[in-house]
């Protein structure tokens, strides 16, 4: 049973039989998986009044463990954002009562971002809902297939990170 990427590869095989397209097959499927799953996550988090970016900030704070507090620069680094991009997200989340910014007791020139109780409750509900959607999307895979895919993607990510331009 073929998929949409197979159709693209077949077209290239006809037009350019000299090309070796296995990498195209892999990255084409990764892109499509990312796009479809990302759209599903946006819809899921949207039910909680969150964008995917908002969720990422709250989830990063939540998984940091008690006291669920990080500097804006640590958050930005973790999410691969600029500090300007982080500021907009933090402004929105603070207005909604999900985070608060407070002076860093160790350095009065710096701020720390803390997850509020309301933010913690919200992100706990949203992550559970997101995981349910993700499990549903993978329901047709056997546990062995899912495990093999996780291992293969871990190896692929390590290879891409090792060879990505800096």
pLDDT one-digit tens code per residue, 131-144:
999 999 999 999 99
Give a yes or no: residue 15 inside a domain: no
Split at pLDDT 50, 70, 90, the class of 19 is very high
**Is residue 30, in this structure, part of any structural domain at all?**
no
Tokens at 110, concatenated: 């710096």
What integer pLDDT is reported at residue 107 of this predicted model? Answer: 84
Residue 1, in any domain of the structure: no
Mean pLDDT (whole number) for 103-127: 94
Task: Answer yes or no: is 57 within a domain.
Answer: yes
- Residue 94: give its domain's CATH number: 1.10.10.10
Closest CA to 72 of 62, 82, 63, 64: 82
**Domain boundaries, position 101:** 36-163
Question: Is 13 contained in some domain?
Answer: no
* Average pLDDT estimate for 92-110: 92
Residue 19 lies inside a defined structural domain of this protein: no
**pLDDT confidence of 105, banded at 50, 70, 90?**
confident
pLDDT score of 1 more than 80: no
- Say if 16 falls within a structural domain: no
Residue 141 lies in a domain: yes
pLDDT of residue 106: 84
* Overall domain count for the chain: 1
């Amino acid at each position: 049973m073929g998929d949409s990427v197979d159709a693209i590869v077949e077209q290239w095989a006809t037009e350019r039989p000299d090309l070796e397209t296995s990498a195209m097959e892999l990255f084409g499927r990764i892109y499509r998986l990312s796009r479809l799953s990302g759209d599903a996550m946006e819809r899921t988090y949207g039910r909680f009044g969150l964008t995917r970016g908002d969720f990422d900030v709250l989830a990063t704070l939540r998984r940091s463990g008690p006291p669920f507090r990080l500097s804006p620069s640590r958050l930005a680094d973790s999410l691969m954002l600029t500090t300007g991009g982080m500021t907009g997200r933090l402004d929105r989340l603070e207005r909604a009562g999900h985070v608060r910014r407070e002076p860093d007791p160790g350095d009065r020139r710096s701020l720390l971002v803390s997850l509020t109780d309301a933010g913690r409750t919200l992100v706990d509900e949203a992550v559970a809902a997101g995981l349910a959607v993700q499990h549903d999307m993978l329901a047709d895979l056997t546990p062995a297939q899912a495990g093999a895919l996780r291992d293969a993607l871990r190896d692929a990510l390590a290879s891409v990170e090792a060879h990505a331009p800096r």
